[in-house]
Amino acid sequence: MGRPSKYTEELAQKICGLIREGKSERTICKMPGMPTTLTLRKWKDDHPDFLTQSARAREESAEKFNDDLLELQDELNDQLQTRLMNGEDFPKGAVEAYKVLMQEKARQAAWRDDSRYGNRKTVKVDATDDAKGMAEVYAKMLEAQKDD
């Protein structure tokens, strides 16, 4: 028998709070008093409520990254408008720097909640009695690819 688990509801909530703030699980596990990544994975297996809670926290952190992205866009727009009205040039490379920051925020949001912030395509398959088996579905998919 191994050591007793240090899992508590309070620690689980603290971890989920850090995830909501945008911290990765790997970063959290490097913090003092936190479990290792292996232990965290085991806790998710042993405590389905923690798994659900951490998944929701990840989705909420996606909203945070998307909000950050929108703020960066507003900030860039405001600066561009102000400089345009004052006849000032925008510093060289500043737009590129904003672009890199915005792309990273978008990537982080998509990584945390691909269903809302990602650009992955989904394929719907009709598996009703009207569909004449998967062979026909695959044939239609292959035909569609040839048309592209």
Please report, for the chain, the start and end positions of each structural domain, with discontinuous segments joined by +.
Answer: 9-117
The structural architecture, per CATH, of the domain 9-117 is Orthogonal Bundle (1.10)
Q: Helices 48-86 and 94-112 meet at what angle, rounded to 10?
A: 160
On whether the CB atoms of residues 80 and 90 are closer than 8 A, the answer is: yes
pLDDT of residue 139: 78
Mean pLDDT of the chain: 86
Q: Rounded to a whole number, what is the largest CA-CA distance in the chain? A: 73
**pLDDT of 130 above 80:** no
Mean pLDDT of 71-90: 90
Structural element, H or E, at residue 136: helix 134-147
pLDDT of residue 113: 86
pLDDT of residue 125: 60
Task: Please calculate the CA angle 121-126-130 and round it to the nearest 5 degrees.
Answer: 160
pLDDT of residue 122: 63
Mean pLDDT of 31-40: 94
State the DSSP string of 64-114: HHHHHHHHHHHHHHHHHHHHHHHTPPPPTTHHHHHHHHHHHHHHHHHHH-H
**pLDDT of 131 above 70:** no
pLDDT band per the 50, 70, 90 thresholds, residue 20 = very high
DSSP 8-class letter at 21:
T
